[in-house]
Amino acid sequence: MRIILMGPPGVGKGTEAELLVKHYQIPHISTGNIFRELFKDNTTVGKIAKSYIDRGELVPDDITNEIVRHRLSQPDTEKGFLFDGYPRNIRQAEAFDQLLLERGWKLNAVINFEAPDHVIIERISGRRVCSTCGAVYHIQNKKPLKEGICDLDQGTLIQRADDMEETVQRRLRIYLDQTAPVIGYYENKGSVMHIDGRNTISHTDAVIKKALGEMN
Ligand SMILES: [Zn+2]
């Protein structure tokens, strides 16, 4: 099973990704994780990638495509994969197509999670994180027993800079600017499965597995 999962931050695709990789026994591949591993292993490409990330810049497409090529040469991808956060622009999508072609592989599905901006903003900007243990709460959906205090260790709950409303709005805009063309690209090539990120995870999981079963 070869799947690309797309969707903005906070749309709820992470949980579904975990269910899919477990169900199909495939690796969950995100370029962010590969970069971290390559850096941990002290590789040159890992250091180069980190220098971009540290400056708050995107890693250039050539480097990203190259590490994806390397990742796909590893044996665990023989039975399939779930890509999350890649490809994030047209150049990467074209390079990825080329890679698949070289291996004689076809994608089974591109799954695009969507939700209205205000839903995503509410979800992310409502997050609070324990400054001691990192446990995650939400001011509406997962309140701590005592406001502002972690249930586990009485640590103070804080809002991460990344979760502030203005930051979320900016991340959403960047995401949509970059990825809308990629979704169009895959729509032209076949079908993109559109998933409403507001549904419950059990509903979403059932819908996706049924569609994947019928497609393949
Ligand atoms: Zn805590």
Beta bridge partners of 113: 195
Residue 162 Cα to ligand 1 middle (Å): 19
Contact 64, 86 (CB under 8 A): yes
Q: How much is the pLDDT for 216?
A: 57
Which residues are CB-contacts of 209 (< 8 A; sequence separation ≥ 6)? 23
What residues does each domain of the chain span?
A: 2-116+165-215
Whether residue 127 lies in the annotated active site: yes
Residue 158, classed as helix, strand or coil, is strand
Query: Check: CATH 3.20.20.140 for 2-116+165-215?
Result: no
Contact 95, 65 (CB under 8 A): yes
Whether residue 160 lies in the annotated active site: yes
Catalytic residue among 13, 71, 123, 128: 13
Q: Report pLDDT digits (tens) over 124-171.
A: 999 999 999 999 999 998 999 999 999 999 999 999 998 999 999 998
Residue 128 Cα to ligand 1 middle (Å): 11
Whether residue 91 lies in the annotated active site: no
Whether residue 2 lies in the annotated active site: no
